[in-house]
Amino acid sequence: MRPRGCRGALLPAALLVLLGAGPPPPPAPTPAPRALWVVRNTLASREETERAVSDCARIGCTLLFLQVSGRWDAWFPSGVFPAGQGGPANDDNLAHAIRLAHARGIRVHAWVNSLLAWSADDAPRDPRHVFHTHPEWFLTGVDGRSIVRLSRRELDARRLEGYFLEPSLAPVRTELRRLVLELATRYELDGIHLDYIRFPSAAWGFHPQIRERYRAEAGVDPRELYTRERELTAERGAQWLARARGAWLAWHRESISRLVRLIARDLETVRPGLELSAAVLANPASARDDFGQDWMAWLEEGTLDVAVPMVYRPSARGVLELLDRIGAGGDPPGRVFAGVSLQFLEPAEIPPIEGLMGRSGADGLAIFSYNLLRGDARALRLLEAR
């Protein structure tokens, strides 16, 4: 039954409309979803874990990319990877973080650095780390050198983030899949978030086993396509060389795509509905051709649920321009969160970006990273007020 007096209470509003005052203003639009990357050292203590989840809720994040493996190590009790240096001794702070986040309506994707296995000046202290146990699993360059033979100074000179593993090797794929399956089956996660799921550049991926495999399939040594450029051009022509290089690069990037598909299939088998997301390079064509990261295809085929292109630019205008270029060919074929970095932007610049990014087809925004917000009351306040 309608409460008495309700009808009369509606009359003033109706009269206002008749008198030309017009209807009330529409409600404010719902803010775009906001995600936050949380670097692994947050899991070192229960107190830091609780603080991170609380701050995430405070600034309106509904999705956490919580790093659980940074350098082929584990910041949770793992039977696959060795413990991370400086990680929690015995506490399972990952499980604690998931419980706290879910209680606040926040979803959690476990963030895994997929193929970047090490980056520090000194080698890992743990003798069980892959850097020590399987140096033969690491990438080989077009110059024939294994990446593990490079010093940190040489890595920097070549603009390499660190020591990458070879995705075409079955043992590498198996170990990474084992870690992902461990996470998916032991924790009430909402998704897995892959990072560094790519080559460091097209100059890498010439492992001796891979060269032999490709030579058996294609009849040419892929390394010679670059080291014998002049001779091959003279013998077979520039067009042949261009086609041969294109075929190699397509084969090369398929090793990354195959790994992503295997992980997606594993998740569908053990946890149907568990999402797969990935941090990806912002320029789709360059990501595909130069780094073997064909993330637009992964979205289109349904292998990837959410792509997070890292549109790391030093101004809101630069971020929006890059987002517009990503969406220039039409809406991306799946969900896309725009990844922005507080290394380049002020916190006050983020809400205006969120208000305008919908024109590019972006579905949400991801902020890198909580560690740059932690303890900054002003930054948290600016992000809270949106």
Amino acid identity at 156: D
Q: Is the pLDDT of residue 21 over 70?
A: no
Average pLDDT over residues 49-78: 98
pLDDT tens digits, residue range 364-381? 999 999 999 999 999 999
Q: Which residue has the higher pLDDT, 25 or 135?
A: 135
Q: Is the pLDDT of residue 86 over 50?
A: yes
245 pLDDT band, cuts 50/70/90, is very high
Average pLDDT over residues 298-325: 94
- Residue 248 in any domain: the answer is no
31: its two tokens: 């803010």
The DSSP bridge pattern shows strands 163-164 and 191-195 to be unpaired
90 pLDDT band, cuts 50/70/90, is confident
Q: Integer distance in angstroms from the first to the last C-alpha of the chain?
A: 39
Q: What is the pLDDT of residue 185?
A: 98
Q: What is the pLDDT of residue 70?
A: 98
Q: What is the pLDDT of residue 351?
A: 92
- Residue 251 in any domain: the answer is no
Q: What is the pLDDT of residue 43?
A: 95
| Percentage of residues in the chain having pLDDT higher than 90 | 84
Q: What is the pLDDT of residue 327?
A: 76
Report DSSP letters for 238-281, one per residue: HHHHHHHHHHHHHHHHHHHHHHHHHHHHHHHHHSTT-EEEEEEE
Which stretch of 38-47, 267-276, 317-326 has the lowest confidence by average pLDDT?
317-326
Q: Which residue has the tokens 């499980």?
A: 95
- Residue 246 in any domain: the answer is no
293 pLDDT band, cuts 50/70/90, is very high
**Angstrom distance (rounded) from CA 224 to CA 211:** 10
- Residue 372 in any domain: the answer is yes
Q: What is the pLDDT of residue 23?
A: 61
Instruction: Give the pTM.
Output: 0.91
Average pLDDT over residues 303-320: 95
Average pLDDT over residues 201-218: 98
- Residue 13 in any domain: the answer is no
Q: Is the pLDDT of residue 330 over 80?
A: no
Which stretch of 15-29, 171-185, 355-369 has the lowest confidence by average pLDDT?
15-29
Number of domains in the chain: 1
User: Residue 153 is part of which domain span?
Assistant: 30-207+257-384
pLDDT tens digits, residue range 258-276? 999 999 999 999 999 999 9
Alpha helices in 292-358 (DSSP H): 295-300, 316-326, 350-356
- Residue 108 in any domain: the answer is yes
- Comparing C-alpha atoms, which of 138, 135, 137, 143 is closest to residue 164? 138
In the chain, how many H helices and how many E strands?
15, 10
| Percentage of residues in the chain having pLDDT higher than 70 | 90
Average pLDDT over residues 267-287: 98
> Residues for the chain: how many in total?
386
**Do 333 and 305 contact (CB within 8 A), yes or no?**
no
Q: Which residue has the higher pLDDT, 55 or 357?
A: 55
Q: Is the pLDDT of residue 238 over 60?
A: yes
Q: What is the pLDDT of residue 22?
A: 56
**Angstrom distance (rounded) from CA 108 to CA 335:** 16
Q: What is the pLDDT of residue 26?
A: 56
- Residue 264 in any domain: the answer is yes
Looking up residue 351, the CATH number of its domain turns out to be: 3.20.20.80
> Mean pLDDT for the chain?
92
- Residue 230 in any domain: the answer is no
